[in-house]
Amino acid sequence: MPHTLDKISPYLPFGDRRDAPFYGHDILSVNQFNRDDLRYLFGVAHEMREMVARVGCFDLLKGKVLANLFYEPSTRTASSFMAAMQRLGGSVIPISEVRYSSVAKGESLPDTVRTLECYADVIVLRHPENGAAALAASYAQKPIINAGDGTGEHPTQALLDLFTIHEELARVEGLTVTMLGDLKYGRTVHSLARLLSLYNVKLNYVSPGILRMPQEVKDEVSARGVAQYETSDLSEVLEQTDVLYVTRVQKERFEDPAAYESVRGAYVITPDTMRAAKAKMILMHPLPRVGEISMDLDSDPRAAYFRQMEYGMYVRMALLAATLGKA
Amino acid sequence: MPHTLDKISPYLPFGDRRDAPFYGHDILSVNQFNRDDLRYLFGVAHEMREMVARVGCFDLLKGKVLANLFYEPSTRTASSFMAAMQRLGGSVIPISEVRYSSVAKGESLPDTVRTLECYADVIVLRHPENGAAALAASYAQKPIINAGDGTGEHPTQALLDLFTIHEELARVEGLTVTMLGDLKYGRTVHSLARLLSLYNVKLNYVSPGILRMPQEVKDEVSARGVAQYETSDLSEVLEQTDVLYVTRVQKERFEDPAAYESVRGAYVITPDTMRAAKAKMILMHPLPRVGEISMDLDSDPRAAYFRQMEYGMYVRMALLAATLGKA
Amino acid sequence: MPHTLDKISPYLPFGDRRDAPFYGHDILSVNQFNRDDLRYLFGVAHEMREMVARVGCFDLLKGKVLANLFYEPSTRTASSFMAAMQRLGGSVIPISEVRYSSVAKGESLPDTVRTLECYADVIVLRHPENGAAALAASYAQKPIINAGDGTGEHPTQALLDLFTIHEELARVEGLTVTMLGDLKYGRTVHSLARLLSLYNVKLNYVSPGILRMPQEVKDEVSARGVAQYETSDLSEVLEQTDVLYVTRVQKERFEDPAAYESVRGAYVITPDTMRAAKAKMILMHPLPRVGEISMDLDSDPRAAYFRQMEYGMYVRMALLAATLGKA
């Protein structure tokens, strides 16, 4: 069912806040959110953060069941949704062996989600193919939350990235955000750039020439009047940066190994790099990292990448509560 | 322990309804049920259905632990039992990686179940070998629920099939049930035919000549005085049919590919096929389907196969509650 | 963080017994326990046993989340921790597909545990490499419980072995414990010997010459003044034995197959063997067994190996409660 329509759960017909934003909605794409939506979601996520700090969990979603349907492995994302549901008192059906299951027997995604929604109240879906989440949502009666489909969308990652900035720096308006590394293939930075373009920010893109931010993303961002600047030299923009978002530059992207070797050093962040950065800024990474950020930086208070993981749990708690009408 | 004897749980010695039918029993075979048993179980399952519709879950099995022991993958059955236990407030230990575990180290099934019952209150077992559930039950003190053992039994599937008929058509007595497809190798239809023979029904078997219902099953059914009719032509019986139960005809069953191609069309249900069927009848399938029922039929109110999945959860809730003395 | 320091959980800052022994501690090695520690832990584990017998579970750890991080499969240990957490009202994130996950993408153990502790309150870690648990603990803020790292430590196994003796024979002081089988490679018997050496016991080691208890372990034990005796003949010591702890002698350990065949019979326990044993003694095995103990012995009241599994759950309940400040 399109995410603009409510999906009315047959479960718990009373007690749900049907008038709540996102009640019964699918979460498919960053493009479905406006600033009011984000203000609402981040408000709920912030409450979740305080609640976890105070009491660890509560029974907001007691009696609700989440099907965590992962067609490709992602320990981090699957664990985050699982913890989010459990800390709200709900329970989880983890399905991560899809390759051995009825799907392997040839079952279609629409049939699989329509079976799972017989058991569960909400489905989190990770799938290797672009558009899989929208396809699933068009068949499912219960909300579908896209946990990444191919090179397409991974909206909860973008939401947690933005929420991290919001919580760490207390605002988004007016910030300078620098994205570094592989900006061509990383869906993370594409989605984050789109979300940030809802705000009055400045975006810097630092990458090797062959790994630049796609024109399509830049066009969308500039259509919203957001200033963008491209360079392959971090030092040009680091001093002004409030958020440095690092992604991995993979050797495989380069035809010529020598070309890779010549640039790789420029995309590894060390304590030395950070000397030129502001005292009050944050260093982010979607993780896992494989050498892009030196472990020597882990104790730097600006290193926000592990806190970023924790914010992810709060955002997912907010999304689960909201789609189930309990936020 | 044989299923006719009680297995007394050391846990929760008070509060259990020890006089409840099935308390401490194993669920191994459809042959262990008579009509009184089914009336009782379906009464409990119906209450579960209403409870889930009203409040989603409740804490009937709070503090109870289910070990979901799957020696072969079955996402559908494993998820169904998991959701059933969670909606009753219990918790689940999912064990689906048996191939990598102590079993791979050579441990016997009796040792594995005797270990798991140290942790859990009830064990659901899926195993590739015929008789595995009875073997496990003969060693275990806690109840064993057979979730399919080889080409042998899959009693909870047959129970959910019958419960689906019961809920959808409000009765079983007097119905005409037509089974279609591969009736030779499908344990589903064997078990369902056996269960249905407890009632005054008419059974039609529609299959290619080489995939007929085994004589053994037909003998059992006819010994109970139930009328059976065999044909390879659905149109002969469709108009009289109250329940059309479809199973897949696999190409691999035919020595001659041409023979398969010549019959396959007769075993695919389309909107066209259904034009000749009653307005008030149901179309069932154990799922997954791979083309046997056209997706164009999914919106036909007679298409009961996804509701069938949901009924499966209620039946499993009833079985868990009953074997643990809480029904 | 070293296990001698408290790790203060950011969750549930009130209600925790911060003064409780082991609150916020890692459980890495048997060497971290003295007799006072063991008395305390076994007291808690005994209460857990009585609680489970009486009411099945209670909500001591409600709202707490355990990450069950298994880099190699161990159904038995993983299930035991999972049941322990669930019977205390907590929830579990099972991570057993590490080979397909971010770790496979090259993530380091320190990064993985620092991510998981964003979601969970305590991490149980099984890892194939010696020292992995201590490494993880040095990075994690939340408690790490070592569930076996390589040929190194498996402290919860040793604790459950000792607790079994304690519960079955009502004491440890003064007992004669005979370890049989492969004493060279079995980390189980090394850890148990170390723990037992805190008490006034007598230890017998029965093994083929090539599979003797390592000198290093014997030196540690004798430094504590505990008498040890080595032999390859069980009959020499069986009559005096209060606890017979059997481990498997693997064919692969022998260069010469004939040498293996000549000794194997001496390391298989049958009803015949047990005729010479005391009426009130116990027969233990860490399981899985592959022929070392005849199934004919399973109904012998002295056969304690399945009860041993159950005691394991109580010990793990005690450790989880203690490290989370709720014991």
C244 is a domain residue: yes
Q: How far does the CA of residue C227 sit from the closest CA of chain B (Å)?
A: 33
CA–CA dist C325, C327 (Å, integer): 6
**Number of H helices and number of E strands within chain A?**
10, 9
Beta bridge partners of A67: A93, A123
The three-state secondary structure class of B80 is helix
B36 contacts: CB under 8 Å, gap ≥ 6: none
Q: What is the pLDDT of residue A224?
A: 96
Q: Name the residue with tokens 């479809």.
A: B246
A98 is a domain residue: yes
Element (H, E) at A229: strand A227-231
Q: What is the pLDDT of residue B73?
A: 86
CA–CA dist A98, A248 (Å, integer): 28
- B105: which chain C residues are within 8 Å (Cβ-Cβ)? 288, 290
B4 is a domain residue: no
Instruction: State whether B290 and A64 contact (CB < 8 Å).
Output: no
CA–CA dist A145, A137 (Å, integer): 9
Q: Mind listing the pLDDT tens digit for each residue in B34-74?
A: 999 999 999 999 999 999 998 888 899 999 999 999 998 88
Regarding whether C233 and C131 lie in a shared domain, the answer is: no
Which DSSP letter does residue B140 get? -
- A91: which chain C residues are within 8 Å (Cβ-Cβ)? 91
Regarding whether B275 and B172 lie in a shared domain, the answer is: yes
Q: What is the pLDDT of residue A290?
A: 86
Which of C75, C246, C316 is the mutation pick for testing B, counting most B CBs within 10 A? C75
Among A95-104, B116-125, C36-45, the minimum mean pLDDT is found in: A95-104
My answer on whether omega of the bond before A10 falls inside 30° of 0, hence cis, is: no
What average pLDDT does this structure show over A224-239?
Answer: 97
What average pLDDT does this structure show over C23-38?
Answer: 96
Instruction: State whether A82 and C101 contact (CB < 8 Å).
Output: no
In this structure, the number of other CB atoms found within 10 A of the CB of residue B131 comes to 13
Instruction: State whether B309 and A119 contact (CB < 8 Å).
Output: yes
Cβ–Cβ under 8 Å, residues C200 and C173: yes
By residue count, chain A amounts to 327
Q: Name the residue with tokens 């672009």.
A: A130
What average pLDDT does this structure show over C301-313?
Answer: 98
Quick one: which of B176, C195, B161, B92 has its CA closest to A95? B92
With vertex at residue B307, the alpha carbon angle to CA B305 and CA B308, rounded to the nearest 5 degrees, is 60
Give the tokens for residue C175: 């007992």
Q: What is the pLDDT of residue A16?
A: 55
B57 contacts: CB under 8 Å, gap ≥ 6: A62, A63, A64, A65, B51, B86, B87, B88, B89
Instruction: State whether B67 and C82 contact (CB < 8 Å).
Output: no
Concatenated DSSP letters of B110-123: HHHHHHHHHH-SEE
Q: How far does the CA of residue A301 sit from the closest CA of chain C (Å)?
A: 15
C276 contacts: CB under 8 Å, gap ≥ 6: C235, C238, C239
Of A53, A94, A96, which is closest to C10 when you measure between CB atoms?
A53
Regarding whether B71 and B118 lie in a shared domain, the answer is: yes
pTM of the model: 0.93
Using the predicted structure, report yes or no on whether residue B91 has a pLDDT greater than 50. Answer: yes
Can you give the three-state secondary structure of A240-296, one letter per residue?
A: HCCEEEECCCCHHHCCCHHHHHHHHHHHCECHHHHCCCCCCCEEECCCCCCCCECHH
Instruction: State whether B119 and C73 contact (CB < 8 Å).
Output: no
Question: Average pLDDT, whole number, for chain A?
Answer: 91
Residue C41: give its domain's CATH number.
Answer: 3.40.50.1370
Element (H, E) at A162: helix A155-169
Regarding whether C147 and C39 lie in a shared domain, the answer is: yes
C60 is a domain residue: yes
CA–CA dist A23, A14 (Å, integer): 13
Question: Average pLDDT, whole number, for chain C?
Answer: 91
Q: How far does the CA of residue A123 sit from the closest CA of chain C (Å)?
A: 17
CA–CA dist B69, B47 (Å, integer): 27
A293 is a domain residue: yes
Instruction: State whether C53 and B107 contact (CB < 8 Å).
Output: no
- Tell me the pLDDT band of C153, cut-offs 50, 70 and 90: confident
Give the tokens for residue A188: 């993370």
CA–CA dist C87, C62 (Å, integer): 10
Regarding whether A119 and A238 lie in a shared domain, the answer is: no
Using the predicted structure, report yes or no on whether residue B6 has a pLDDT greater than 80. Answer: no
Of C10, C107, C115, which is closest to A309 when you measure between CB atoms?
C115
The residue of chain C with its CA nearest to that of B141 is C306
Hey, which bits of B45-175 come out as E strands? Answer: 65-70, 91-95, 122-127, 144-149
Q: How far does the CA of residue A26 sit from the closest CA of chain B (Å)?
A: 20
Using the predicted structure, report yes or no on whether residue C7 has a pLDDT greater than 60. Answer: no
CA–CA dist B57, B125 (Å, integer): 24
C15 is a domain residue: no
What average pLDDT does this structure show over B66-91?
Answer: 95
- C13: which chain A residues are within 8 Å (Cβ-Cβ)? 53-54
Quick one: which of B223, B228, B183 has its CA closest to B201? B228
What average pLDDT does this structure show over A117-124?
Answer: 97
The residue type at C185: Y
CA–CA dist A191, A160 (Å, integer): 11
The residue type at C15: G
Regarding whether C200 and C57 lie in a shared domain, the answer is: no
- Tell me the pLDDT band of B105, cut-offs 50, 70 and 90: low
**C-proximal residues of A, 268-307, CB under 8 Å:** 287-290, 295, 306-307
Q: What is the pLDDT of residue B14?
A: 40
CA–CA dist A288, C102 (Å, integer): 6
What average pLDDT does this structure show over C175-202?
Answer: 95
Concatenated DSSP letters of C147-212: EEETTS--HHHHHHHHHHHHHHHS--TT-EEEEES-TTT-HHHHHHHHHHTTSS-EEEEE--GGGP
Of A73, A86, A310, which is closest to C97 when you measure between CB atoms?
A73
Regarding whether C301 and C168 lie in a shared domain, the answer is: yes
Cβ–Cβ under 8 Å, residues B297 and B283: yes
Q: What is the pLDDT of residue B31?
A: 94
Regarding whether C285 and C214 lie in a shared domain, the answer is: yes
Quick one: which of C149, C137, C152 has its CA closest to C216? C152
Cβ–Cβ under 8 Å, residues A67 and B79: yes
CA–CA dist B314, B302 (Å, integer): 20
- Which residues form the domain of C115? 30-153+312-323
Question: Average pLDDT, whole number, for chain B?
Answer: 91
C48 touches chain B (CB under 8 A): no
The three-state secondary structure class of C231 is strand
Structural domain count of chain A: 2
SS3 content of chain C, % helix, strand, coil (to 5): 45, 15, 45
Quick one: which of B166, B156, B164 has its CA closest to B188? B156
Sheet with B282-284, side-by-side order of all strands: B227-231, B202-206, B176-180, B243-246, B282-284
Q: Mind listing the pLDDT tens digit for each residue in C258-272?
A: 888 888 888 999 999
More confident residue, B22 or B11: B22
Using the predicted structure, report yes or no on whether residue C138 has a pLDDT greater than 60. Answer: yes
The residue type at C53: A
The residue type at A98: V
Give the tokens for residue B311: 């009924």
My answer on whether omega of the bond before B301 falls inside 30° of 0, hence cis, is: no
Q: Mind listing the pLDDT tens digit for each residue in B191-235?
A: 999 999 999 999 999 999 999 999 999 999 999 999 999 999 999
Of C12, C65, C111, which is closest to A83 when you measure between CB atoms?
C65
Interface A-C, measured as beta-carbon pairs within 8 A, has a size of: 81
Of C93, C107, C121, which is closest to A79 when you measure between CB atoms?
C93
Q: What is the pLDDT of residue C314?
A: 98
Q: Mind listing the pLDDT tens digit for each residue in C284-300?
A: 999 999 889 999 999 99
Using the predicted structure, report yes or no on whether residue A56 has a pLDDT greater than 50. Answer: yes
What average pLDDT does this structure show over A76-101?
Answer: 88
Concatenated DSSP letters of A85-133: HHHTT-EEEEE--GGGSTTTTT--HHHHHHHHHHH-SEEEEEESSTTHH
Regarding whether A45 and A187 lie in a shared domain, the answer is: no
What average pLDDT does this structure show over C95-112?
Answer: 71
The three-state secondary structure class of A301 is coil
Q: Name the residue with tokens 């709900």.
A: A90
C286 is a domain residue: yes
A280 is a domain residue: yes
Q: How far does the CA of residue A52 sit from the closest CA of chain B (Å)?
A: 22
CA–CA dist A79, A102 (Å, integer): 23
Using the predicted structure, report yes or no on whether residue C318 has a pLDDT greater than 80. Answer: yes
For chain C, what is the radius of gyration of the CA atoms? 20
Regarding whether C253 and C162 lie in a shared domain, the answer is: yes
**A-proximal residues of C, 54-83, CB under 8 Å:** 62-65, 67
Regarding whether B145 and B217 lie in a shared domain, the answer is: no
CA–CA dist A99, B31 (Å, integer): 34
The residue of chain C with its CA nearest to that of B117 is C310
CA–CA dist B129, A314 (Å, integer): 45
Cβ–Cβ under 8 Å, residues C249 and C264: yes
CA–CA dist A43, A319 (Å, integer): 11
Regarding whether C250 and C226 lie in a shared domain, the answer is: yes
Q: Mind listing the pLDDT tens digit for each residue in A235-290?
A: 999 999 999 999 998 888 888 888 888 888 889 999 999 999 999 999 999 999 98
